[in-house]
Amino acid sequence: MLKSSSKLVTIILIAISSCSPPENSEPTNDYEKFVDGLVNLQEQAEFNFDSTIVGGNCCDFDFDTYFKYFDQLSVDSNWVLESHYRISAFRGHPVVASFARNDTIAAEIRRELSLSRKGLLKGKEDYDLSLRLFGYMDSVGFLSAIHINSDSGYFQYLIFALFGGQYCLFGDANYADWEIITSRQKLKYFTELENDTYYRFSKSVKKQALKIDPEIKMETFPDSITFRIVTLDPWTGFVENKYSITKSWPHKLTQYEHKVLVKYDCGVRF
């Protein structure tokens, strides 16, 4: 799936959560507390789809305030971190983008994005703008702007990279809708869902899933930090993922293992 920060970034479809945290349940660890808080923030985004709007005014979300939730991360002074909502025929999703200051290409793209938000770019002009935006992000990598400021910041960095843009997903963009399993409590919660759009597990799948070890594992090495996490998505199932984050800045995030533990397909097609 996602192999490096440069590809991770192009379309931060990057993914959380069709399901809210379980009601009346306290987080069982700090990882779960952080992810549940992020889900609650993302659910505050107001998505107002209007087929007449080509640009990015369909998702009402204060990205600057949102990023402050990741309080152990910061943006380098030579960069600007922004979120721009992009819509094509069958999808709508936020694109988190890092722009280098004093870069003429970045300045031009940001100028056109401003015009797009005002509805001044139409059709092919707006489509071409999206291509330039994605191309720029491929060349610079949106994670390049971000500093990790503490040990706990490595988990925040991972979650921001994988799930930070998972709000206001529309249409085909929902194929990027992931969940992160942060505890046995959360694993049990998902297996017991009955009327959810995506998750209605058979007894056999539920039995297999409950055998999974959902614990998030972090290991420290001289030059990097690694994480083992279990994710769930409606078209693959429960997956064990392993990631490495370099300690030196600009940090580099690499996925080095992707193992399907329990296969599941919800059958929904967009």
Interval 101-146: pLDDT, tens: 999 999 999 999 888 877 788 788 888 888 898 888 888 888 999 9
Residue 70, in any domain of the structure: yes
3-state secondary structure of 150: coil
Residue 238, in any domain of the structure: yes
Which one-letter DSSP state was computed for residue 174?
G
Closest by alpha carbon to 106, among 128, 74, 135, 85?
A: 135
Kindly tell me if the per-residue pLDDT of 19 is higher than 60.
Answer: no
**Average pLDDT over all residues of the chain:** 83
Task: Look at the block and give the residue holding tokens 């001044």.
Answer: 120
Residue 159, in any domain of the structure: yes
Spatial separation of the C-alpha atoms in residues 13 and 179, rounded to whole Å: 13
The pLDDT assigned to 130 comes to: 85
Angle between helix 30-42 and 153-163 (nearest 10):
40
Residue 268, in any domain of the structure: no
Average of per-residue pLDDT across 43-52:
68
The pLDDT assigned to 181 comes to: 95
Residue 25, in any domain of the structure: yes
Residue 270, in any domain of the structure: no
Sequence-ordered list of residues with C-beta below 8 angstroms from that of 66, at least 6 positions apart, any chain: 41, 83
CB 250: neighbour CB atoms within 10 A?
Answer: 16
Spatial separation of the C-alpha atoms in residues 41 and 63, rounded to whole Å: 11
Taking CA atoms, 20 is separated from 16, 91, 189, in Å, by 9, 22, 10
- Domain range spanning residue 237? 5-263
CA 193 remoteness from chain centre:
23
Omega before residue 214 within 30° of 0, cis: no
How many domains are there within the chain?
Answer: 1
Spatial separation of the C-alpha atoms in residues 200 and 186, rounded to whole Å: 15
The pLDDT assigned to 229 comes to: 97
The pLDDT assigned to 7 comes to: 36
Amino acid at 241: N
Interval 159-215: pLDDT, tens: 999 988 877 776 666 555 788 999 999 999 999 998 888 889 999 999 999 999 999
Closest by alpha carbon to 21, among 175, 193, 159, 155?
A: 193
Residue 78, in any domain of the structure: yes
